[in-house]
Amino acid sequence: MERKYLVVGSAALMAVFGVVFGFATAVPLILVSGGLFTLASNVFSDAIHTYLPESFPTSVRGTASGTTYSLSKLSTAVQPFLLLPLLDRRGPGAVFTVITVALVTMVVIIGLWGPISGRKPLDAE
């Protein structure tokens, strides 16, 4: 499967399952949606870590991949300071709404402008 579409599809599933999980009150729904979110998240993680380097031309691949990966780790370090107060004040639904907005934004950006990978190098003629 084309990695671009695997990234987009798994992120879209994370958005759906995350919102269900965030607003669920019944234990079975919490368990099922949480499990499906985790499954989609694992597929997404594998796909994005493969897709990301393929999104850059070979000449800048190392630098570009390293920079974007480092920025993702910095954003991961900042997230608890933003999301935990939101969780405390508004609950899990609000947290997963914020996460869903970020995921949908990423799905749109990659869906519209992300390169198709896995067929040939970006700098191939």
- For residues 61 and 54, give the distance between their C-alpha atoms in angstroms, rounded to a whole number: 8
Other beta carbons less than 10 A from residue 100's beta carbon: 19
> What is residue 1's predicted lDDT score, i.e. its pLDDT?
84
Is 4 in contact with 116 (CB distance < 8 Å)?
yes
Other beta carbons less than 10 A from residue 9's beta carbon: 17
> What is residue 93's predicted lDDT score, i.e. its pLDDT?
95
> What is residue 100's predicted lDDT score, i.e. its pLDDT?
96
> What is residue 117's predicted lDDT score, i.e. its pLDDT?
81
The pTM for the full model equals: 0.88
Averages of pLDDT over runs of 10 residues in the chain (125 residues) are: 95 97 97 98 95 91 93 94 96 96 96 83 56
103 vs 29, 58, 72, 111, CA distance in Å?
21, 27, 14, 12
Is 72 in contact with 84 (CB distance < 8 Å)?
no
